[in-house]
Amino acid sequence: MSHEITLVCLANARREGGRCVAGVDNEGDWVRPVSSKTQGELSINECRLDIGRDPRLLDRIVVPVTAPQVRPDQPENWVISGEPWRYKGHLDSTKAEELLDEVCYHDPDIFGDTSRYRVLSEMESDPIHHSLLVIEPEQLSWKVERWDNGAIHHRATFDHAGHTYDLPVTDPIIEALLSGKSEGTYARDVDGQLGARRFFLTMSLGAVWPTTGRCYKLVAGVLAIS
């Protein structure tokens, strides 16, 4: 039997096979709606709103779900029912800033440590408490890298609570802004294309890579507050 969760969308990220949507509910708790597929990815149709588009960051949306799917690497997951998602409005800058300040994470470790990934077997014996959080980074910049196989990768470098991180970006808006740019480092406003007073990042622990057992830390959402 399904019930509904109302969320403020704080991530709608690209992932292999589909999308990863996540947000906070009315109590400030994180929720990641997932499908019944092995990795839980959502198709575009599965997360389409009743107004004919997919969720945007800071949209308020209603998601019908069936049951929690607590996993050692992603304890916030809820399985969707397959019923349509509904749009309930969009937060203005003032309300968005208030929410992000309220949920912002200030501890130095991201998902338990300062590494680039966590190992699933370690989390199975010692489960993490969360796989989603929001930070307000310092010294934020973006990188475009070309790997030896020719693939282009987008990354974020930033400081958080005294530690420097260099992590993949899966936010499609940032990926689009960086698309076509040459290898190198770009300021947080991406050459003036993304003007804002403050930047918040939604961090996510990605699904496990079967060949390595690793769950990589990702920048899944970039929230620019003007």
Could you read off the pLDDT of 48-86 as tens digits, one per residue? 999 999 999 999 999 999 999 989 999 999 999 999 999
Buried b (16+ CB within 10 A) or exposed e, 80-109: bbeeebebeeebeeeebbebbeebebeeee
Could you read off the pLDDT of 83-122 as tens digits, one per residue? 999 999 999 999 999 999 999 999 989 999 999 999 999 9
Domains of the chain: 3-94 (2.40.50), 104-225 (2.40.50)
Distances from the Cα of 12 to the Cα of 54, 91, 157, 220, angstroms: 8, 16, 20, 7
Q: How confident is the model at residue 151 (pLDDT cuts 50, 70, 90)?
A: confident
Under 8 Å between Cβ of 166 and 180: no
Alpha-carbon span 203 to 221, nearest angstrom: 7
pLDDT of 150: 75
Higher pLDDT, 7 or 150: 7
Could you read off the pLDDT of 181-218 as tens digits, one per residue? 999 999 999 888 888 899 999 999 998 998 999 999 99
